[in-house]
Amino acid sequence: MQDISQSSAPILLWFRQDLRLKDNSALQAAIETGRPLTAVYIHDPDSEAEWSPGGATQWWLHHALVDLNQQLEDLGGQLLIRRGDSLQCIQRLIKELAAESVYWNRRYEPIIRGRDAVIKKRLREDGIEVKSFNSALIHEPHTISKKDGTPFKVFTPYWKHCLKQTKDAPVRVELKKAVFLKSAPHSESISSLALLPSISWDEQFYKTWDPTAKGAARLLKTCVSSKLAGYERGRDILDEDATSRLSPYLHFGQIGPRQIWEAVKAKDNGEKGTYRYLAEIGWREFSYALMYHFPHTSTEPLRPEFADFPWESDKQLMTAWQTGQTGFPVVDAGMRQLWKMGWMHNRARMITASFLVKHLLQPWQDGARWFWDTLVDADLASNTQGWQWTAGCGADASPYFRVFNPILQGEKFDPNGDYVRRWVPELTGLPNNLIHTPWEADAFALADAGIVLGRDYPFPVIEHAAGRARALKAYGLFKATTKK
């Protein structure tokens, strides 16, 4: 590789899932060289294979790119958009710009790590300087291990260990010093990437989300000023807006965990909510560590014996679950919230996922796939971890035999039925004591509420006790065969 230290050639800054200007390590490193830079986003879904962005994340990505381009334009720059094979696009741009360096922030999905390693090698062989940085995590997976050098598989010791490590402050990006290359090569338009849905699915997304970096900063401010104190109690209450809702911004890197850490720590007065909130950021980091060390787990169980679990794939049951028509109000409310908002409350994610893999015996991979398409925060690390945790086949997972009771979960975490009434409006007229069990309502109660079961709202697709018994029977058989 040539000596680049005296070069004044442009740097190509490759934006990926780090769609922000603040706390962006690659951007700051490029600025520090004093050389001109050009920013590019490459749309290359083929390289992500089966984990290319789903419908809801594509919607988010469109708006995040528009926002980033606007911020760059305000600084006199631009976000170039290219489409196609990442390596080829970069090689072409290097020629067009006479660039000698490419900088980016790292991603950790197995397929992307493989792709990026090839790109790095090929560019270096061509004499190009390539530098990659961390902007997505507080602790990158390769920096954390147990004393014996192996990865943690249990969250509590993992997090205790992480809490003892030094944390980097957010990177102060000297935007005023940024020099953008004047020549502007061809750029595709963001709309030509066709990321927005062709059906009118996203109406409520617009009402719910501000998918911009400013939107993220606003939510962080609200979280720190008014949510942390009540977080420990409120985070499980389904109809309370007690969580930060920062997950899609974190996924796309419109905000980084170092920024969150700093803002939360600045307000830390020893409250339980603060500790708990940071531990959730810790679960995100843990999920990334698991994905990094066990790269097969987005499709296969971490505990290998679960590969033989006797799932009973059933299209009809799957459709009932996806469309929020299972007859269990809290499950249906969660699934409809997901469809309308592109987001679901964490407690509802656990309830709906458990219902699918236990009561309905559907493979966790099918549920994960549906979430992948419908969540605006769909994230390979957190989604995989969440599903494997629920199905009992992951690291530090809830055991399979612990079957969530959707009725009790509803009564506990939606005691007044507000969440159900919001997302399953046909049940609005039921009194609180029947809102989670409409099948127990007598003819008078149903008539008063204006509901005909089987017409306005389904009967349960399976009775709770029968679903639980079937799940435990399947688990018993599975245990017996895996013990042999």
Ligand X SMILES: Cc1cc2nc3c(=O)[nH]c(=O)nc-3n(C[C@H](O)[C@H](O)[C@H](O)COP(=O)(O)OP(=O)(O)OC[C@H]3O[C@@H](n4cnc5c(N)ncnc54)[C@H](O)[C@@H]3O)c2cc1C
Q: Provide the β-strand partners of residue 131.
A: 103
Contact between 13 and 75 under an 8 Å Cβ cutoff? The reply is no
Interface mask toward ligand X for 203-232; x: CB under 6 A: ------------------------------
Total residues at interface with ligand X (CB under 6 A): 28
The DSSP bridge partners found for residue 137 are: none
Selected binder of ligand X within 18, 116, 239, 377 (CB under 6 A) = 377
Among candidate residues 339, 346, 426, 463, the one labeled active-site is 346
Q: 219, 244 in Cβ contact below 8 A?
A: yes
Q: Which of 262, 280, 300, 411 is catalytic?
A: 280
Q: Measured between alpha carbons, how far is 435 from 416 in angstroms, rounded to an integer?
A: 8
CB of 323 to ligand X, least distance (A): 18
Give the chain's length: 484
- Establish if 235 lies at the interface with ligand X (CB under 6 A): yes
Nearest partner of 93 among 128, 65, 69, judged by Cα: 128
The interface region with ligand X, picked from 5-13, 103-111, 203-211, 386-394 by CB under 6 A, is 386-394
The token duo for 101 is: 């360096």
346 tagged catalytic: yes
Options 60-68, 105-113, 246-254, 325-333: segment touching ligand X (CB under 6 A): 246-254
Helix (H, G, I), strand (E, B) or coil at 360: coil
Question: Which of the following is catalytic: 364, 370, 372, 423?
Answer: 364
| C-alpha 235, offset from chain centre | 17
List the interface residues with ligand X, window 83-102 (CB under 6 A).
Answer: none
How many Å apart are CA 188 and CA 89, to the nearest integer?
A: 12
Residues 143-162 that bind ligand X (CB under 6 A): none
Beta bridge partners of 79: 39
d(CA 250, CA 474): 37
Chain centroid to Cα 427, Å, comes to: 31
Q: How far is CA 34 from CA 4, 28, 178, 456, in A?
A: 13, 10, 8, 66
* 280 is a catalytic site residue: yes
Beta carbon of residue 23, minimum distance to ligand X (angstroms, whole number): 16
CB nearer ligand X, residue 77 or residue 386: 386
Here the tokens at position 85 are 């094979």
Residue 243 interacts with ligand X (CB under 6 A): yes or no: yes
Binding-residue pattern over the window 340 to 359 for ligand X, x denoting contact by CB under 6 A: ------x--xx--x------
Q: Is 311 a catalytic residue?
A: yes
Query: Does 311 participate in binding ligand X (rule CB under 6 A)?
Result: no
Both tokens assigned to 297:
């787990």
Q: Are 35 and 8 in contact (CB under 8 A)?
A: yes
Identify whether the C-beta of residue 360 lies closer than 8 Å to the C-beta of residue 461: yes
Of positions 13, 61, 119, 250, contacts ligand X by CB under 6 A: 250
Q: Which of residues 251-310 bind ligand X (CB under 6 A)?
A: 251, 280-281, 283-284, 287
| Choice among 60, 311, 372, 389 that is catalytic | 311
* Binds ligand X (CB under 6 A): choice among 28, 47, 58, 247: 247
Smallest distance, Å, CB 384 to ligand X?
8
- For the annotated catalytic residues, the residue numbers are 280, 283, 311, 346, 364, 387
Q: Summarize as ranges the residues that interact with ligand X (CB under 6 A).
A: 235, 243-247, 250-251, 280-281, 283-284, 287, 346, 349-350, 353, 371, 375, 377-379, 382-383, 385-387, 390
